[in-house]
Amino acid sequence: MISPSMNADLSCLYLGLASAWLAVEILRRGGYPRSRAELSTKLATLWFVLLTNVAFFIALGFSVSVQSNIPFALMALLGIIPSLGLVPWMVLKFRDPLTALVLSALVLLAAKLSACVVARLVYGPDYMEHGYVAADWRTAKLMISLTWSSITTISLGFMALGYRQVEPR
């Protein structure tokens, strides 16, 4: 049997994937938004649902004593950030759920790899041996901070871009 207390990373990955799919479904429900008012309503619904979801997820995690090298509540909140801005923009841009999810995943991968490259440049060739790209906040602060700050910036930027691209009406 797998202990839930040691699987915080995997559970937050599943939360992120489920949140991305939920974002797709909320945006597609009743047709794609044609005005800023419709988009605002759908995004408000999405934010409410995802934040409620993550609150329950965190409560459940604490109830089974989930342990992580990065604070569990922070990991859970960061796991839904792409679903708040990046995924909705991709869905509105391409109108195809699978394309939107795959391209969103590629953007996230690029952000992570870019942070790893920066860690390599800053710490030198033995950066992996020293744990500078591990999933441990104690040793990989630069990589983790760069990854999540860039993902947050990208997501918020795409959310603003999506809002501007929809007609005001």
Task: For residue 86, give the DSSP letter.
Answer: H
| DSSP element (H, E) containing 13 | helix 8-28
Domain boundaries, the chain: 4-165
pLDDT digits (tens, 9 = 90+) for 99-152: 999 999 999 999 999 998 998 899 888 888 888 887 777 788 888 899 999 999
Measure the CA–CA gap between 24 and 149, rounded to whole angstroms.
23
pLDDT digits (tens, 9 = 90+) for 18-46: 999 999 999 999 999 989 999 999 999 99
Residue type, position 136, single letter: D
User: Is-contact 22 91, C-beta < 8 A?
Assistant: no
How large is the angle between the packed helices 97-123 and 86-94, nearest 10 degrees?
140
